[in-house]
Structure 1
Amino acid sequence: MTTSPKRLAYSIFAAPIALALAACSGDAGGGAVEEGDPIASIEAPEGQAWTDMVEVSEYGGYVLGNPDAPIKIVEYASLTCPACAAFTQEGAEPLKQNYVSTGVVSYEIRNAVLNMFDLTLAAMVRCGPDEVYHPLSDQVWYNLAALQPQIQQGAQTLQTAGELPEGQRFVLAADAAGFYDFFAQRGLSRDQAAACLSDTENVLAIDELWQEQAEEFGVQGTPTFFVNGGRVDGITWANLEEALQRAGARTE
């Protein structure tokens, strides 16, 4: 899908923001993860842990763990999605400690964009070293219930503000939703965040990646999981863990 930055900007700011928060999950469908033999643990480089290693993929996602892991998870996730938050609250720690830490599994998150606040948050969790992307994303999902009233209030504020000045749209969105204080408490200063959000071209590029990949991979809801390219049937930690076990992330 090829979409111009102007069209992207229009679609993001014209979307029914409040409604987008209510329903984010879709039919993950498929159940196409192939069965594999058990895979032995792989040692991390000396003095390092796989759970501390992150690199950006060619798809713009953030890969946690062994970049050459034989089992690769890709999650398309929205930062304002309650179902994504539920997955993180239940599954993030066991996924990292029991699977990513072994070097057998890598975990890549790619941002799905449902509304302008989603895109603002996606830009903010990327506004720092690659290693902070997963922890900051987790913090948003762990605290999403508390953030949602702020986001709803921010939506109302912006909808009555008229047209937002280009170059300041995401800066103002973050301010309206109280994101600066939330991230400042987690190590990202207001000045840092505002500088990232002022780079409108880079922010909109996140949405462009999402639009292209949603079409390419048929992603219709969040969270959507793939394991070694096969779509996971379901959206819960239990569904994903079953797929990992099937693919070989298990002992004899």
Structure 2
Amino acid sequence: MPLSRRILMLAPAALLPWSANRPAAAQGGDPRLTERSAGKRDAPVTVIEYFSLTCSHCAAFHRDTWPRVKKELVDAGKMRMVWRDFPLDQLALAAAQVARTLPPAAYEGFIGALLSTQDRWAFNRGADPVAEIARVAALAGLSRPQVDAAIGDEALRKALLESRLKGEQEHKVSSTPTFVFGSKTVPGALSFDRFAELVGEAAGA
């Protein structure tokens, strides 16, 4: 299944008709659209990360900073991380659709695996990106037909595009990664020290 790396250009008017008439399952009953997060729900701080699976800066954050954030802040009960999709291109959107098809418990591991292997599926001109995504998905229990079905699901595609649009409108997101610490929106692949500082500020707000 060939996929374009064309940058996604979203127009609010293009999504509004679908949003107004979308099925009830997509509004709240579709488990694929429920929150994907790590950490205790009663943590004192909730941080939102808007990310794209084809973003090299997102990959750098998840490689260099996230392991320490998870160990020292999330697992320690100081914060909760919520992931929100902000696909930058068609390939990132397809990968996000596959990620959302997995059970929530498998989500973090899957996106981490994709971000750490971007060079194989996102930037390798000689590779079949869907085949590479499917290889990773197979480790999480998805078959190739299930991967193809996820990528071909128009309702899921539109829901993720709407989520991206909401991020633009609600938190003024224009690049990835972008983090939201309470009322403060901060773009960029943050270092652990800066990330922890912002968590502390949000806790004291």
TM-score, L = length of structure 1: 0.63
CA RMSD of aligned residues (A): 2.8
Bigger RCO of structures 1 and 2 (CA < 8 A, at least 6 apart): 1
Question: What do the CA deviations read for 1:134-182 (whole angstroms, capped 9, x no partner)?
Answer: 11111111111232334x457xx8xxxxxxxxxxxxxxx725xx32223
**Cα distance 1:193–1:113, how it changes in 2: closer, same or farther (>3 A)?**
same
Count of residue correspondences: 180
Cα distance in 2 for residues equivalent to 1:212 and 1:105: 23
Partner of 1:130: 104
Question: What do the CA deviations read for 1:188-213 (whole angstroms, capped 9, x no partner)?
Answer: 22122223223211122101210232
Q: What amino acid is aligned across from residue 144 of structure 1 in structure 2?
A: Q
**Cα distance 1:200–1:128, how it changes in 2: closer, same or farther (>3 A)?**
same
1:75 shift after superposition: 0.6
Name which of structure 1's ranges 61-70 and 108-117 shifts more when overlaid on structure 2.
61-70
Partner of 1:212: 166
Partner of 2:191: 237
Cα distance in 2 for residues equivalent to 1:111 and 1:131: 17
Cα distance in 1 for residues equivalent to 2:93 and 2:16: 14
Higher radius of gyration, 1 or 2 = 1
Cα distance in 1 for residues equivalent to 2:173 and 2:15: 21
> After the TM superposition, which segments of 4 or more aligned residues of structure 1 sit over 4 Å from their partners?
none
2:71 to 97, 101, 104: 97
Asked if residue 194 in structure 1 is aligned to residue 148 in structure 2, the reply is: yes
Partner of 1:33: none
**Cα distance 1:229–1:153, how it changes in 2: closer, same or farther (>3 A)?**
farther
TM-score, L = length of structure 2: 0.76
Q: What amino acid is aligned across from residue 185 of structure 2 in structure 1?
A: R
Name which of structure 1's ranges 121-130 and 140-149 shifts more when overlaid on structure 2.
140-149
Higher helix share goes to which structure?
A: 2
Partner of 1:117: 91
Cα distance in 1 for residues equivalent to 2:66 and 2:198: 15
Cα distance in 2 for residues equivalent to 1:233 and 1:180: 30
Partner of 1:174: 130
Cα distance in 2 for residues equivalent to 1:3 and 1:217: 20
Cα distance in 1 for residues equivalent to 2:34 and 2:173: 16
